């Protein structure tokens, strides 16, 4: 239910008349203008500008693909354990390439519905029961008490105003609805095997530069371990978590993802002063070498449910 008393179905019908598919959710065009102004940046169609470090580029599809290949099996296992099923109303916040929204759409069937939001909707496709919305979780409304499931993966970690975004996500839950966050603890990423000590040290420098860069942009690189308490603080009940890590050998989807990140952030990484362009070239070679094996980030799923009225 929205604060003004409308249910999402009613809201969708009115928005369909006033806002083209992919338009911003919540306050119409005004929101989009304000969001851009508030963050001090410009934007292009289908993209709201925020402090998110990975900007739109021709590498974004590759990044999304390897991210999804690396994380979907574990995420889907967590969603299954929450028993997401036919008729559920779900929102996937910051849906990226849309694989989880697609999975949810199939799972909830014709009687359910999935809303998938992002500040960049370029990777998202709608379906008969999946609605795509351009939406900034920091600044734009979600309907109150509307969803059986709110899911976000690797979104809040990046946002300096994650508490505000989290509170909005919690308000969007129906009584008894589940929130599932899948987030990293980026501080934990040990090299498991390397051709030599120099290769291990090189990866260490890349990882340090990446963490430095993310932290400088407002990310909380250890957010994965802090999410549990944050959900408790929001008053959620039945809070639980499960951590997952796995080996990423050179040329795996995980190492390809890191490879793409090193290209997307090349200038900023060099700008940290912690790694050079020559070293980044060598790192990319290492990330395709199967004798190099790094652990994935510690990937922490945290869930909790909105209490039902007593």
Ligand X SMILES: C[S@@+](CC[C@H](N)C(=O)[O-])C[C@H]1O[C@@H](n2cnc3c(N)ncnc32)[C@H](O)[C@@H]1O
Which pairing describes strands 89-93 and 113-118: parallel, antiparallel, or unpaired?
A: parallel
227 secondary structure, DSSP code: H
* Token pair belonging to 124: 């998202």
Using CB positions, name the residue nearest to ligand X.
Answer: 96
Count of positions on this chain that bind ligand X (CB under 6 A)? 22
Residue 306 CB, shortest distance to ligand X, in Å, is: 21
**Cβ pair 272, 213 in contact under 8 A:** yes
Residue 164 CB, shortest distance to ligand X, in Å, is: 10
Among 88, 112, 118, 203, binds ligand X (CB under 6 A): 118
Q: Is 101 helix (H, G, I), strand (E, B) or coil?
A: helix
Task: Quote the CA–CA distance of 222 and 230 in Å, as a whole number.
Answer: 13
Residue 308 CB, shortest distance to ligand X, in Å, is: 28
Task: Quote the CA–CA distance of 207 and 227 in Å, as a whole number.
Answer: 22
Q: Is 254 in the site for ligand X (CB under 6 A)?
A: no
CA-based nearest residue to 75, from 48, 61, 58, 95: 95
Token pair 């499960």 is found at 242
Among 31, 68, 131, 264, binds ligand X (CB under 6 A): 68
Q: Is 96 in the site for ligand X (CB under 6 A)?
A: yes
Task: Quote the CA–CA distance of 25 and 75 in Å, as a whole number.
Answer: 26
96 versus 177: smaller Cβ distance to ligand X: 96
Among 137, 169, 181, 214, binds ligand X (CB under 6 A): 137
Q: Is 185 in the site for ligand X (CB under 6 A)?
A: no
For 82, 120, 264, the CA distances from 268, given in Å and listed in that order, are 39, 21, 9
Would you tell me how many other CB atoms lie within 10 Å of the CB of residue 206? 22
Stretch in the footprint of ligand X (CB under 6 A) among 92-100, 196-204, 240-248, 271-279: 92-100
Among 32, 102, 153, 305, binds ligand X (CB under 6 A): 153
* Token pair belonging to 99: 């694989």
* Token pair belonging to 114: 């999935």
Q: What mask, x for binding ligand X by CB under 6 A, covers residues 267 to 286?
A: --------------------
Q: Is 120 in the site for ligand X (CB under 6 A)?
A: yes
Site for ligand X in 31-60 (CB under 6 A): 50, 52
Q: Is 95 in the site for ligand X (CB under 6 A)?
A: yes
Would you tell me how many other CB atoms lie within 10 Å of the CB of residue 82? 17
Q: Is 220 in the site for ligand X (CB under 6 A)?
A: no
Stretch in the footprint of ligand X (CB under 6 A) among 111-119, 166-174, 199-207, 254-262: 111-119
Residue 95 CB, shortest distance to ligand X, in Å, is: 6
Among 8, 134, 136, 199, binds ligand X (CB under 6 A): 136
Q: Is 146 in the site for ligand X (CB under 6 A)?
A: no
Task: Quote the CA–CA distance of 170 and 236 in Å, as a whole number.
Answer: 8
Stretch in the footprint of ligand X (CB under 6 A) among 80-88, 115-123, 196-204, 287-295: 115-123
**Cβ pair 275, 269 in contact under 8 A:** yes
Q: Is 79 in the site for ligand X (CB under 6 A)?
A: no
Task: Quote the CA–CA distance of 296 and 156 in Å, as a whole number.
Answer: 19
Q: Where on the chain is the footprint of ligand X (CB under 6 A)? A: 50, 52, 67-68, 71, 93-97, 117-120, 136-138, 153-155, 158-159
């Amino acid at each position: 239910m929205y604060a003004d008393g409308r249910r999402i179905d009613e809201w969708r019908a009115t928005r369909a008349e006033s806002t083209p598919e992919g338009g911003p959710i919540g306050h119409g065009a005004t929101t989009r203008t304000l969001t851009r102004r508030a963050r001090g940046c410009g934007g292009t169609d289908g993209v709201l500008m925020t402090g998110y470090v990975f900007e739109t580029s021709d590498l974004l599809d590759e990044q999304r693909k390897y991210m999804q290949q690396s994380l979907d099996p574990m995420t889907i296992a967590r969603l299954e354990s929450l028993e997401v099923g036919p008729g559920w109303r779900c929102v996937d916040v910051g849906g990226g390439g849309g694989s989880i929204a697609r999975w949810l759409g199939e799972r909830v069937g014709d009687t359910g519905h999935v809303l998938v939001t992002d500040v960049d909707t370029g990777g998202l496709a709608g379906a008969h029961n999946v609605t795509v919305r351009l939406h900034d979780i920091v600044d734009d409304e979600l309907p109150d008490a509307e969803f059986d499931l709110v899911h976000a993966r690797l979104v809040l970690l990046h946002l300096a105003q994650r508490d505000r975004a989290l509170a909005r996500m919690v308000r969007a839950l129906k009584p008894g609805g589940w929130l599932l966050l899948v987030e990293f603890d980026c501080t934990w990423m040990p090299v498991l095997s390397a051709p030599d000590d120099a290769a291990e040290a090189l990866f260490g420098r890349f990882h340090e530069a990446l963490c430095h860069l993310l932290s400088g942009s407002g990310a909380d690189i250890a957010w994965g371990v802090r999410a549990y308490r944050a959900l408790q603080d929001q008053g959620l009940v039945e809070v639980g978590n499960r951590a997952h890590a796995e080996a990423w050998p050179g040329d795996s989807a995980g190492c390809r993802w890191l490879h793409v990140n090193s290209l997307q952030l090349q200038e900023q990484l060099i700008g940290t002063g912690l790694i050079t362009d020559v070293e980044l070239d060598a790192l990319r070679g290492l990330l395709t070498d199967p004798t190099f094996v790094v652990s994935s980030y510690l990937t922490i799923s945290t869930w909790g449910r909105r209490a039902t009225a007593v």
